[in-house]
Structure 1
Amino acid sequence: MKKKTLISALALSAALSTGSAFAAELNVVCSNEQDWCDLMAGNFEDKTGISVAMVRKSTGETLAQVRAEAGNPKIDVWWGGTGDPHLIAAAEGLTQPSGADTSELLGWAQNLAEISGGRTIGIHLGVLGVAYNADILKEKGIKPPACWKDLTDPQYKGEIQVANPNSSGTAYTELATIVQIFGEDDAFRLLKEIGENVNSYTKSGSAPSKAAARGETGISIGFEHDMVKLARAGFPLKIVSPCEGTGYEVGGVSIITGAKNFDEAKQWVEFVLSAEAQSAGPEVGVFNIPSNSNATIPPEAPAVESIKLIDYDFATYGATDTRERLLSRWDKEVKPGN
């Protein structure tokens, strides 16, 4: 693969804020892990000859940017991150149909396209889980958790790290999952009790598991494919699928309404939906489940057939009013300092 000519995040951020013209032909915000962002941008450039200017941002940050730039977008396509914010952007008319062929995609990926009127399409599936640092818990004589409710145990005081759902799609998926499992009022009581054991709410959804891997916290909540990557790297991380059941994300790709480089953006969508592109994930430790039915599923990917998955309601929890109401309640009842 030729050397990538990606614009730096700093330079791109400055250009976005000033409205400067880009030398690149396609402007992408990526809400996946940085290594995966870089690999896909490089592979796309190699295949198409189209230059890519890319910056990584969380889903919450990207949704805020897309809203702020409505009518005069500085980016063309949003790739990755949980599907709920993509659905919100679609419902608000901030994204547009790509017209891409979805016939090779698995049902859950096509479902995201159907719900959104083709404005966002599923690119991967990731299961929500809990990870713990086996060395830390053994050293402290703490029993590992097996269920969501276990995380309220006082033995985990100061041992749990999770992201803030206002900025992190991962954490919003956790919030919506617990609401769907326990009912809203009981869920917020549970989240408040878990919060008593949380040492930090991070900006990024993958940060807690990285902290657990490094021994900076005992327990994390996040997506299992991120945890698998860390465990394979040799960190003492063990993965738990909560006994009550768990939710999942369907990552999305969306073209921004008013994109200045629509044709190039459509080529990006078609590329990232292809079996060829999706099968490259394990090269950089991406172990989620690809949406293309012909893509290779990494053997390290979570075995969804053995996990108790809920029937995650994307239409409801990907709606603007639901998300805003749940986040407002989280800020009032769970956020530290309340």
Structure 2
Amino acid sequence: MPFSKIFLGAGTALILASSAAYAETELTVYTSIEAVDLDRYKETFEKAHPDIKINWVRDSTGVMTAKLLAEKDNPQADVVWGVAATSLLLLKSEGMLEPYSPKNVEALDPRFVDGDKPPSWVGMDAYVAALCYNTVEAGKLGLTPPTSWKDLTKPEYKGHVVMPNPNSSGTGFLDVSAWLQTFGEEEAWSFMDALHENIAAYTHSGSKPCKMAASGETVIGVSFEFPGAKAKTSGAPIDIIFPSEGSGWEAEATAIIAGTANLEAAKTLVDWSISKEANEMYNVGYAVVAYPGVAKPIENLPDDVADKMIKNDFEWAANNRARILKEWQKRYDAKSEPKS
């Protein structure tokens, strides 16, 4: 055989072997992570694992949960990364998650890990309920700042409160769930009836009420802590208030969808999602992360945000989710913003 053919044959084999070694596995990843964070998570993970490519499918928590449930018999996702733990517990109850104990999971705060062994989901960070209060607009109206959830029912706030719709927003659901757990069912629904009288609108985004308060569109935005800190750092005239009864919170969490054809790549992604490096990235947008000792102080937030979090029963919230949302919609949906 001529030398040139031998050389070409060997070269072709080398190219094919190289291509096989770097063949990409594409993972379809469903998420409710803030859109601004998706590119940097994808870039950092893919740099460490060039053989795996992330294809994001993003929507708000409520919409994403409904989408996953609708696809139960024909799953389209490989991994869910950054969706509320209560939503993942709902999927778990439907047998839709693949249990997996990621590498170094024992290093995480136990509050961020499913109680089963192996766990069906693992958390990454927490968003914590807070009020964004526009001091300038409040001053014009002669209002005084609230210090508790119950204060929001005062007549002076009528038409000056905006909060998220729990059917479409994870932040909205954590609020309602926390009130029910903190006050008890009867008192909580009475509180929400009174609060409804003061609500100007229910939004379909958890961060939007805070952004509205920051821009002066409303006085009080029921939201979560980080958008408030970000807006205040940017110069918005707002105070971030943690109500005295304690703040509801939700863990953003990750899980593998049962039946995925890309199980090994999915496990690799989940391993990375709980790593110290990943948690350091989460801390850019969240004051509370799953990996103890990683979180650094966030400008304009107190250092003890984690201490303001109520004892949250995720299992109860997940098991009662459908009932809670049905009742909430029946009572209050008339003030919801139109869906885009």
Q: Which TM class, normalised by the smaller chain length?
A: 0.7 to 0.9
Please say which of residues 124-133 and 160-169 is displaced more in the overlay. Answer: 124-133
Partner of 1:75: 77
Partner of 1:17: none
* Residue 130 of structure 2 is aligned to residue 129 of structure 1: yes
Secondary structure of 1:99's counterpart equals: coil
Secondary structure of 2:144's counterpart equals: coil
> Whole-Å Cα distance in 1 between the matches of residues 263 and 78 of structure 2?
7
Please tell me the residue identity of whatever aligns with 1:289: V
Partner of 1:93: 95
Judged with a 3 Å threshold, the aligned counterparts in structure 2 of structure 1 residues 62 and 294 are, in CA distance, closer, same or farther, namely same
* Residue 255 of structure 2 is aligned to residue 254 of structure 1: yes
Please tell me the residue identity of whatever aligns with 2:224: F
- State the Cα distance separating 1:188 from its structure 2 match: 0.8
> Whole-Å Cα distance in 2 between the matches of residues 120 and 295 of structure 1?
20
Partner of 1:9: none
> Whole-Å Cα distance in 2 between the matches of residues 100 and 332 of structure 1?
41
Partner of 1:290: 289
* Residue 103 of structure 2 is aligned to residue 105 of structure 1: no
Please tell me the residue identity of whatever aligns with 2:272: F
Partner of 2:206: 205
Per-residue CA distance 1:237-296 (angstroms, 9 max, x = gap): 2111111222221221111122232222211111111111121235xx503311123534
> Whole-Å Cα distance in 2 between the matches of residues 336 and 196 of structure 1?
12
Identity of aligned residues (%): 34
Secondary structure of 2:333's counterpart equals: coil
Please tell me the residue identity of whatever aligns with 2:63: E
- State the Cα distance separating 1:77 from its structure 2 match: 1.2
Secondary structure of 1:100's counterpart equals: coil
TM-score (norm 2): 0.85
Secondary structure of 1:26's counterpart equals: strand
Per-residue CA distance 1:65-101 (angstroms, 9 max, x = gap): 1111113221111111321111111111122113313
Judged with a 3 Å threshold, the aligned counterparts in structure 2 of structure 1 residues 91 and 129 are, in CA distance, closer, same or farther, namely same
> Whole-Å Cα distance in 1 between the matches of residues 296 and 258 of structure 2?
32
Please tell me the residue identity of whatever aligns with 1:287: Y
Confirm or deny: 8 A CA contact 1:126 1:248 kept in the other structure: yes
Partner of 2:195: 194
Confirm or deny: 8 A CA contact 2:58 2:64 kept in the other structure: no
> Whole-Å Cα distance in 2 between the matches of residues 201 and 337 of structure 1?
6
Partner of 2:321: 323
1:332 to 330, 333, 336: 330
Matches within 5 A, 1:130-279: 130-279=131-280
- Unaligned stretches of 5+ residues in structure 2: 1-23
- State the Cα distance separating 1:177 from its structure 2 match: 0.7
Confirm or deny: 8 A CA contact 1:91 1:116 kept in the other structure: no
Per-residue CA distance 1:141-183 (angstroms, 9 max, x = gap): 1111111111111211211111111111111110011111211
Confirm or deny: 8 A CA contact 1:209 1:226 kept in the other structure: yes
Please tell me the residue identity of whatever aligns with 1:34: A
TM-score (norm 1): 0.85
Secondary structure of 1:132's counterpart equals: strand
> Whole-Å Cα distance in 2 between the matches of residues 127 and 157 of structure 1?
24
- State the Cα distance separating 1:337 from its structure 2 match: 6.6
Q: Calculate the aligned-residue CA RMSD, in Å.
A: 2.1
Secondary structure of 1:279's counterpart equals: helix
Confirm or deny: 8 A CA contact 2:163 2:199 kept in the other structure: yes
Confirm or deny: 8 A CA contact 1:98 1:119 kept in the other structure: yes
